[in-house]
Amino acid sequence: MNQNIPESWKEIIGPELEKTYFWEIKNVLTREIAWWKIIYPHPQNIFAAFEKTKRQNLKVVILGQDPYHGAWQAHWLSFSVQDGIKIPPSLKNIYKEIKNEYPDFEIPNSWNLEHWSEQWVLLLNSVLTVEAWKPASHAKIWWSVFTDSIIQKISQSTEWTIFILWGNFAKSKKVLIDSSKHYILESPHPSPFSAHSWFFGNGHFKKVNEILASQKKEKIKW
């Protein structure tokens, strides 16, 4: 596992790496790899979301649950997939909503959301790894303890960050966020099972840019 944490995140992430629970995470992953299990994303990319988005410039945090479990789908960014991979239904619905809000938006051929990260949008899954073809297979190996701590520390150390919580799982993380100094946007999840229950029409992409404009910050080019 690559633990080369970017400088801007060391203060937040570094202490967690020394805790007993994190050693348990490492032991589980090491054991599963030794048993020839396929783990997504590649262990060298587990923390890549933090490499793409510096904490000092953080604008938005979009919380996901765990990585896609299909062959080569899993990216190190929540909801994103790497180039050349078939678009998952949730991501397709995300792009549909952007199109609804911005009619001139052209849905791209690439489903890789790194260009969001480069604009200081942290795409963070609660669980950072998964065994191939086994959804939620790593949900109980302490990853949520790690990411809950990160969310809470982001809340404590930044101001007026926009947190986007889609679905009940993400909404459960609201207790970690200080709503007196941050923006919290909530709606149903973009999955096909709930997108028509007000994910479509939530207006979140425009709302983010309206908030950023009020802060005199550059808008996100979705």
Length of the chain: 222
In 76-182, at which residue ranges do the beta strands (DSSP E only) sit?
A: 121-125, 130-131, 162-166
Question: Per the structure block, which two tokens stand in for 199?
Answer: 């994910």
- Are residues 40 and 54 in contact, defined by beta-carbon separation less than 8 angstroms? no
Cα angle 51, 56, 60 (rounded to 5 degrees) comes to 80
Tell me which of 66, 83, 104, 178 is the catalytic residue.
66
220 in helix, strand or coil?
A: coil
Burial class (CB in 10 A: 0-12, 13-18, 19+), 22: buried
Report the C-alpha gap between 80 and 85 in whole angstroms.
Answer: 10
Q: Please name which of 149, 86, 157, 162 lies closest in space to residue 122, comparing C-alpha atoms.
A: 162
Question: What's the N-to-C CA distance of the chain in angstroms?
Answer: 31
Is 178 a catalytic site residue?
no
Neighbours of 36 (CB within 10 A): 6
Burial class (CB in 10 A: 0-12, 13-18, 19+), 217: middle
The residues annotated as belonging to the active site are 66
